[in-house]
């Protein structure tokens, strides 16, 4: 299973890296936290806020599904069922 850091969309990583000069410690800390998580539901409100803040994400055009599943930030893995 991939970590949330590995699932982070390239445009989010690019935006975080653009702000690294100003927020290096916070972004590095955020990357370390995401590298220890596997599910969107593991994120705290603070961590979600930090991603949105440091990646300059416009969350005002998000719908309920975007908040519920994090589709604007992360790639979702397909669930493989063993039958």
Q: Report pLDDT for 78.
A: 61
- Provide the 8-state DSSP code for 55: T
pTM of the model: 0.86
b/e string for 16-35 if b means 16 or more Cβ within 10 A? beeeeeeeeeebeebeebbe
Q: What is the pLDDT along the chain (83 residues), one digit of tens a residue?
A: 899 999 999 999 999 999 999 999 999 999 999 999 999 999 999 999 999 999 999 888 899 988 999 999 998 876 555 65
Domain boundaries, the chain: 4-69
Q: Report pLDDT for 82.
A: 60
CB of 10 closer than 8 Å to CB of 73: no
Q: Report pLDDT for 13.
A: 96
């Amino acid at each position: 299973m991939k970590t949330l850091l590995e699932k982070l969309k390239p445009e989010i990583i690019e935006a975080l890296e653009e702000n690294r000069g100003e927020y290096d410690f916070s972004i590095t800390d955020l990357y370390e936290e995401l590298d220890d998580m596997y599910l969107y539901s593991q994120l705290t409100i603070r961590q979600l806020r930090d991603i949105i803040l440091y990646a300059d994400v416009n969350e005002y055009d998000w719908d309920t599904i975007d908040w519920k599943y994090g589709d604007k930030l992360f790639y979702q893995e397909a669930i493989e069922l063993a039958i």
